[in-house]
Structure 1
Amino acid sequence: MALRFYLGNHLFMNWMPYRIRHAYLRRFCNMRIGADTSIAMGCFVTGNFITIGSNTVINRGTYLDGRVPLYIGNNVNVSHGTLIQTLSHDPQNPDFVCIEKPVAIMDHAWIGARAILMPGVTIGEGAVVAAGAVVTKDVPPYTIYGGNPARFITDRSRNLRYKTRYFPFFDTDIQ
Structure 2
Amino acid sequence: MFKKQAVYVFIYFSNLTFNLMPFFLLKKIFLVLLGAKIGKNSTLHTPIKFFNLTRKLNIGSNVTINPGCYLDDRGGIFIGNNVNISHSVRIYTAGHNINSPDMRYFERSVLISDNVWIFPNVLIMPGVKLGKGCVILPGAVVTKSYPERSIVGGNPSKIVGSRDCGTNYCINHSYWFVN
Separation in structure 2 between the aligned mates of residue 60 and residue 6 of structure 1, nearest angstrom:
17
Q: Give the counterpart letter for 1:43 in structure 2.
A: I
Is 1:160 matched with 2:160? no
Residue 64 of structure 1, aligned match among 67, 71, 88:
71
- The equivalences for 1:3-82 within 5 A come to 3-28=9-34, 30-47=35-52, 48=54, 49-82=56-89
Spell out, residue by residue over 1:25-82, the C-alpha distance to the aligned partner (whole angstroms, 9 max, x if none): 1102x11010000011100113310100000001111111111121000000001100
Identity of aligned residues (%): 34
Superposed counterparts of 1:25-174, under 5 Å: 25-28=31-34, 30-47=35-52, 48=54, 49-170=56-177, 172-173=178-179
Normalising by structure 2, we get a TM-score of 0.90
Distance 1:112 1:104 in 2: 16
CA distance in 2 between partners of 1:145 and 1:132 (Å): 10
Unaligned runs of 5+ in 1: none
| Cα RMSD (Å) | 1.3
TM-score normalised according to structure 1 size: 0.92
- Quote the Cα distance in structure 1 between the aligned partners of 2:90 and 2:80: 17
In structure 1, C-alpha distance between the alignment counterparts of 2:95 and 2:75, rounded to whole Å: 11
Q: Which runs of 5+ in 2 are unaligned?
A: 1-6
CA distance, structure 2, for counterparts of residue 112 and residue 60 of structure 1 = 12
Structure 1 residue 14: Cα displacement = 3.6
Amino acid at match of 2:106: I
Structure 1 runs (4+) deviating above 6 angstroms are: none
